[in-house]
A and B are shown apart, each in its own frame.
Chain A
Amino acid sequence: MKRNCVLLLPIALVAVVSLAGCSRMRGDPKLDAAGTQNVPGAQSDIHVVSPVSSGQWLTPEGDLAGTRFSALDQINTGNVKGLHVVNEMTTGIPHGHEGGPLVVNSTMYVVTPYPNILIALDLSQPKGAVKWKFDPHADPRAVGIACCDVVNRGASYGDGKIVYTTLDDQTIAVDANSGKEVWRTKVGDPNLGETITSAPLIVKNHVYVGNAGGELGVRGKMVALDLSSGKEVWRAYNTGPDKDVLIGSDFKPFYPKDQGKDLGAATWPPDQWKLGGSTIWGWITYDPELNQIYYGTGNPGAWNPDLRPGDNKWSLSVIARDPDTGHAKWAYQFTPHDEWDYDEIMENIAVDMNWHGQPRKLLIHPARNGFVFVLDRQSGELLSAEIFEKSTNWASGYDLHTGLPHKVPEKATHQGKITENICPSSTGGKEFVPSSLSPRTGLLYIPAHNTCMNYQALQANYISGTPYLGASVKMFPGPGGFQGELVAWDVKNAKPAWSVKEEKFPVYSGVLSTAGDVVFYGTMDGWFKAIDARTGAPLWQYKTASGIVGNPMTFTGPDGKQYVAIYAGIGGWMGAVAFPSLSTDDPYAALGVVGAMKEIKNYSAPGGMLYVFGL
């Protein structure tokens, strides 16, 4: 019906009239409608818990459950080779373009890296003419504080507003039609080292925002704002006593290791939790039926594990909360006492699926620490934790009865101790870039890294004129002659089905899968690729002007045709090695990633671009 509405109108009126008609018909799907459903062509026992994207793209992940799956199928395995650029635009900003655009009705919304300009493009005009630009005038002082490039991971749409965050800790709602500011709320303070790089999520009448800055000793927190006014509704910290973490009597973690009073303070040396990091700079997902939001937390502060004996809760955890009250329902810590900077802010995908023959409510978390975790999202029980990046060696596996990893003692890190060949490196078996789950194939498509690291000799360092000796971290490609990989993970059988190896660089882009059984992703040397969702066979690729660290998305244009969009623009933590200002002479620079990324300068220069492809 949607698709046909344009075609029914006289050609001359298409541009003017059809949009209004189409918009009305498209409306906003009830993303938060409870009740699972089966996607056409899906495996019979796989049910999505929130409507998947089909035509519009309203959340950072396309839907609320984090599948990054689109029901659109005009572009399919048979015709994808005919894709060509229908629109391209430079943002003029030479920094990492993470995240991806939104499409609401006939408008596309792009958020740039700092200075965080919001650009609205009219898709009904030839070449998607700029409708308006919104400049938030973000505080430039935040630039000096951001750890790993001045990135932004996108916006969310709700109630006629585009809501996004700025590097200087503001959350801003902009009228989707007029481009006028509706409200802005300061949710953090750059003076304390806080920045915000993540995309907010909108559920019902709330906006959820997490902070970044775990490298500067800030305290991770989730803040809920009222969608109509921007007023703070609740705030929950990830470290500290239960009252700060919003843990009450309804908090029921599955494992004894996560049970007890005030663990956010008690699992640290006195007061260390005040500088305890555990920020939220990745993705938030939502299950309408259970009415729970899920998010992962980042590294504990300080990075040096010697200073914080204990589990250091709630770092490296997934936390389930009631979105209305903020109360924590359960939590599970993936890696107690982090020794490797394995942030777990990655996506937590909610889907209902048969597990060992029984229908279960799953939460799937492909982790930085190299394992795919499958949890029961109602109880927090760990159903499976299996290695998806073969080289992973910091732990040999997980005990499903205790929820604890079997750590490998030789891979422990201490200052002054040389620990060699730890896999994955701090950048992870995968980074924050989100995977995609296709209900049609039952496969999870993981953008993976095969990068390892050495904790090496001490070298001089300083901060604010204050010198010290710091351990140096050096990263390098893992074994096997490849550094990146798109892993198709068979969720039910907890093992890889197949993978596509990327020789030169880690896969540092998000993934999109579609009902056309096509999987899209990008590479750091600038190839945008389409592969067969069932076999991994290469179907199409296009060389963009800069490396890809953004997330692909797809939408239906006002003309009723399906399009695919991606940002190019190298940057971010690993991608920053492409910047001319960063010398590759020192393998320890950029928190150690230079050793793994030396070659990137030969393959990609910075420069932000939006590409839209059609048939």
Chain B
Amino acid sequence: MCSASRLLLAAGAVLSLATLQAADLRVCADPNNLPFSNRQQQGFDNQIAKLIAADLGKGVTYVWAPERGESFVRKTLLAKRCDVLMGIPSAYPEALASEPYYRSTYVFLWRRDRNLQVRSLNDPALHRLRIGVHVVSDDASNLPPAQALANRGMFRNMVSYSIYGDLSKPNPPAALIDAVARGNVDLAIVWGPLAGFFAQREAARMAMVPVSPQVDRPFLPFTFSISIGVRPTDKDLLKSINSALEHRRNEIRKILMSYGVPLLDADLRAGSRP
């Protein structure tokens, strides 16, 4: 019995496996970037990607790529190594963005035992504090907290942490939140999802307050809507993702809340973009 048919069977198995894999939603993600994603798929974007894929009747195949610098999108999504990027700003120009699946804000973060009352970037108390911020180096611009402090001339208050961090350590951007917990800085201004997630994990109790104003002068937004990105030509895929986001809205919200992501709900419903 014929090796020929066995061969056929084997060929069939290979074929169906190939079809199955081709049918998977291919997601490019950072292997070491909680709370968003990691190789063990413990991030909220890992969970949401799984949910969206399930809604499309697909599994998820990951293409792991450290998310560093502008060429990331070019080397991953645009190079067709994957079909989807989670967690892009909704107005991101290099990819086609889905409807937002959450909207969050930069926050002030401090140890509760510091007894701070900071609510606003214009709070005079900030001038007496060591303020930790993430900075980026490869762009003509910077993360809003660093820029807002620079615009106020508060260089003596600013303690910079590279957003890239040390890739050999777990969750490189978390060094800033650790610095707050350890007392290396008095306060940090940090993207909400990072703050919410890592603050929960610190032994010290932490306080977290959304940055006000939401748009600092001259035009520096501290709130952003976040979308799923596809290649600009993948309009059909975008349509399916948008309806999956609609179907799974409540589940997605539950996931985000379980990771401590500060959510700005009203704006999300309106689907507004920064």
Contact = CB atoms under 8 A, between A and B. Distances in A.
Interface stretch (A130-138, A302-310, A371-379, A437-445): A302-310
Interface string B99-140: 000000000000000000000000000000000001111111
Q: Which of under 10, 10 to 19, 20 to 34, or 35 or more describes the interface residues of A?
A: 35 or more
A344 B247 CA distance: 54
Contacts of A467: 88-89, 191, 224, 226
A581 interface: yes
Contact of B141 (A217, A469, A586): A469
A581 B138 contact: no
Contact of A270 (B146, B155, B274): B155
Contacts of B139: 302-304, 461, 470-471
Given A144-B66, A275-B137, A303-B140, A464 B163 contact: yes
Q: Which of under 10, 10 to 19, 20 to 34, or 35 or more describes the interface residues of B?
A: 35 or more
Contacts of A141: 66, 167
Interface stretch (B7-15, B213-221, B262-270): B213-221
B69 A215 contact: yes
A312 B82 CA distance: 40
B194 A216 contact: no
A191 B167 contact: yes
B71 interface: yes
A348 B76 CA distance: 38
B212 interface: no
Contacts of B135: 217, 275, 301-302, 307
B70 A591 contact: yes
B87 interface: yes
Contacts of A416: 218-220
Interface string A189-217: 11111000000000000000000001111
B70 A589 contact: yes
Nearest to A277: B137
A144 B163 CA distance: 15
A527 interface: no
B140 A304 contact: yes
A585 interface: yes
Interface in A127-151: 141, 144-145, 147
Contacts of A358: none
Contacts of A269: 155-156, 158
12 contacts: A302-B136, A306-B142, A460-B89, A460-B92, A460-B274, A461-B89, A462-B89, A465-B193, A468-B143, A469-B274, A581-B75, A581-B78
* Ranked 5 nearest A-B pairs via Cβ: A269-B155, A215-B138, A470-B141, A460-B89, A581-B79
Interface of A: 141, 144-145, 147, 189-193, 214-217, 269-272, 274-275, 277, 301-304, 306-307, 309, 341, 413, 415-416, 455, 458-473, 581-583, 585-586, 588-591
